[in-house]
Structure 1
C-alpha cells in the first residue's frame, strides 16, 4: 500500500476562553492518499474547520492551541516545524479555499495581484511572468476575458466568480493538497454544480489531493472517494463513499442520512431530523459523544469511549459500542425512533 501524502494522528486542538477551555478536536486520525478526494462531514460545531485550519497552522494562538498529535506531510510533522518552514509550505504545497471568498479576498488589491503574490514569493517569478500565469489561472477556472478581469477588484466579481478566483489563487502554485472548506455554501445550485465540476476537472489535470469540508452529503456523493463522519470533535466513521452511504454502521451517520432528501426513492414520511443538541465541548462527555442523542445508547456508551472497529480492514471503520459482540443487533431504519421522549 502506498504511503499517504498526509496523515493525522491523535490530533487534539483546544481554545481557551473566559468561560473555560473548548476542546474542539479530540483525537482525530485521518489519512489522505495522493490524488484522492476525502470529504469530512458533520453538523456545525463538530470540528471540521478547526481540523482543516490545524493542517495549515492557521489556528489563532492564543486562544487556540494544538495540544497533542501529529500532522505528517511528506514525512514532516507540521505541528513541529518552524513558522518560516510552514510559510514555505502554506500556499505552495498545501492550498486552501475558504468558506467566504468575499471576506477571504483582499478588497484593496486586484484579483490578479492576489494570484501573483504567491507565484512571486514561492516560485520566484518576476512580475510579467506572474501576471501571465495569473491570466492563465483565471482562464483555467473558467473566468471569461481573463486579461480584463485580472486588473479588477473582488467587488467587481460575482459570488461564483469570486469563488473561482479563490480556486485560482489556491491552485496557482500547483499544490499537492487542496483543502476546500465549504467551497459552495454561499452559491446557488447552478454555480455550485459548476464549481464542483471545475474542481473535479482540475484534480484530474493536476493530480492534486483534495480534502473537502462540508455538511452537504449531496456534494460528497458527487465528488469524494472516501468520507469521514465527524461529531463532537471526533471521527465516528470513515470509509469509501459507498460504504458509508449504503452500509453505514454508526447511529449518527444513520441520522445524517435520514435527514437528507433523496430523489432515488419514494419517500412518504417526512424527513427525520436528529433530536437533541451537540455535546458541550467545554465539558465533553467521557463516553461516546453521540450517546445523549442516540436511541440505541447503552450504559457503557455514556461511561466509556468506544474503540475503533474495522468493519472492512483498511477501509471501513466505525467507533461505536454497537459493534461489540455482546451488543444488541439494530438497523439504520430504527434511527427514526423519537428519542425526545426517552
Structure 2
C-alpha cells in the first residue's frame, strides 16, 4: 500500500512558567492510504499533541515543533509556509476534534460551518455549498437535513453534534482524517453508530484514518495497526493482532489488564497500573515506564531502549528484548492476552 504520511523523529515542546514540557519525544510513524491507525495511551501521553502537530495546530507560543519531519505525500509540513498549510488543513487533512460542543461555533448554524470549508477550499458558490452541506448531513445519518442545516449546535444532541463534526471534516474529501476521541462521552449505541459510519465512509472514499483513543474496544473494532504511546514516546507498534495477542511491552500488558472483559465476574479481575505517568517537565533518562514497571532493571532507568524488530509489522522499545535480559513468565504478564484465561 502507498504511504501517505510519514512522521520521523517528531519532538514537540511547550514553554511554561515552570519550564519546558517535552510533550512528544521522538515519534516515528507511517500511515498508508485507506488504513486506520490507532494511537492509544493514557491521558497526557502525547496522542493529541502528535495529531495536532500534523496539521500545525500547536499554539506557538508556547508550543513548538523542535525537531522532526511530517511528510505528507513527500512534502514536509513543518517547512511549508502558513499560506500553503492553510490550503492543506481541512481540504486534504481533516480533523474531528475531541469535544464537539466546544469545537463547533455556537454562533453559526451547522450548515454554515460545513459550507465555510467548501467555499474556501473548493471555490463553491453559496448555493452549491449549501447543497453539499445538506448532502453531507444526509451522508452522516442526520434526519431531515434540509431543515437541520439551518439549526445551531445547541439544537443538536450529542451524537448529532459528533456527526456534524464528521460532516465538516469530510466535506472536502480529505485524504487523511484525524479522529481525536470521536466517541468520548457518547453512550454505547451512539458510539457503535459513529464507528460504523466512519468505516462506511472510509470504504467509500479510501480515506486514511488516524484514530486517537484510550478505548481499546474502539481500537479492536476499527484499527488495522496500533501505536502504543507513553510519556511522549511510542513504546510499541504493530498490527491489531500483534498488540492484542502478541504484545511485548509491559505498558501494553498493563493497558490490556486494566480493560474490562465480558467474561469478567469480579471487580478484582481488573488490574490497574500502579503509579503515575512521568513528569514531562523533567522526563526520565531511560524508559518512561521504568518507575511503574514490575519488570524494570537498572538499565531501564538509565538508558532509553532501542527499537527491536519483532517482525516486519511489529516493533517494541523495551530492554526485556535484549539477549541478556531475564525472561518473563507469560503468566506474570498481568494477564495480558485476551482469551488467555
Q: TM-score, normalised by structure 2?
A: 0.96
Does the CA-based 8 Å contact 2:110-2:152 persist in structure 1? yes
CA distance in 1, matches of 2:267, 2:125: 62
Please show how residues 317-328 of structure 1 align to structure 2 within 5 Å. 317-328=315-326
**Cross-structure match for 1:189:** 188
Q: CA deviation at 1:270?
A: 2.1
Instruction: Quote the residue 1:176 is aligned against.
Output: 175
- Is the 2:253–2:334 Cα contact (8 Å) retained in structure 1? no
- Is residue 34 from structure 1 mapped to residue 37 from structure 2 by the alignment? no
* Inter-partner Cα distance in structure 2 for 1:146 and 1:20: 49
Structure 1 residue 334: Cα displacement: 1.4
Distance 1:332 1:54, change over 3 A: farther
Cα pair 1:249 1:332 within 8 Å, conserved: no
SS of residue paired to 2:219 = helix
- Among 326, 332, 335, which residue is 1:334 paired with? 332
SS across alignment from 2:146: helix
Which position in structure 2 is the counterpart of 1:167? Answer: 166
What is the CA deviation profile of residues 65-84 of structure 1, one whole-angstrom value per residue up to 9, with x for unaligned ones?
00000000011100110000
The 2-side partners of 1:333 and 1:176 are apart by 43
Q: Deviations over 1:244-286 (max 9, x none)?
A: 1000000000000000011257778520000001011000011
Structure 2 distance, partners of 1:326, 1:5, is 38
Deviation, 1:153, is 0.4
Equivalence map 1:1-342=2 (5 Å): 2-263=1-262, 269-313=268-312, 315-336=313-334
Q: How far apart in 2 are the matches of 1:50 and 1:333?
A: 35
In the alignment, is the contact (CA less than 8 A) between 1:251 and 1:332 conserved in 2? no
Q: Shift of the alpha carbon at 1:333?
A: 3.5
User: Secondary structure of the residue that 1:201 maps to in structure 2?
Assistant: helix
Q: Which residue does the alignment assign to 2:339? A: none
Cα 1:191/1:13, change in 2 over 3 Å = same
Contact in 1 for aligned 2:13/2:66 (Cα 8 Å):
yes
Separation of aligned partners in 1, 2:96 and 2:267 = 39
Matches of 1:132 and 1:191 in 2, distance apart? 26
Distance in 2 between residues matched to 1:81 and 1:161, nearest whole Å: 35
Contact 1:40 1:227 in 2 (8 A): yes
In the aligned structure 2, how far is the partner of 1:125 from the partner of 1:106?
21
CA contact (8 A) 1:135 1:147 kept: yes
Structure 1: tracts of 5 or more residues without a match: 338-342
2:57 is paired with a residue of what secondary structure?
Answer: coil
Contact residue 180 and residue 213 of structure 2 kept, 8 A: yes
Aligned positions, number: 335
Offset of residue 335 of structure 1: 4.0
Task: Give the root-mean-square deviation of aligned CA atoms.
Answer: 1.3
Q: Is the 8 A contact 2:8 2:70 kept in 1?
A: yes
User: Which residue matches 1:340?
Assistant: none
Take 1:268 and 1:224, find their aligned partners in 2: how far apart are those partners? Answer: 28
Alpha-carbon distance change, 157 to 301 in structure 1, aligned in 2, over 3 angstroms:
same
The separation in 1 between residues aligned to 2:33 and 2:329, in whole angstroms, is: 35
Could you tell me which runs of 5 or more consecutive residues in structure 2 were left unpaired when the two chains were aligned. 336-341
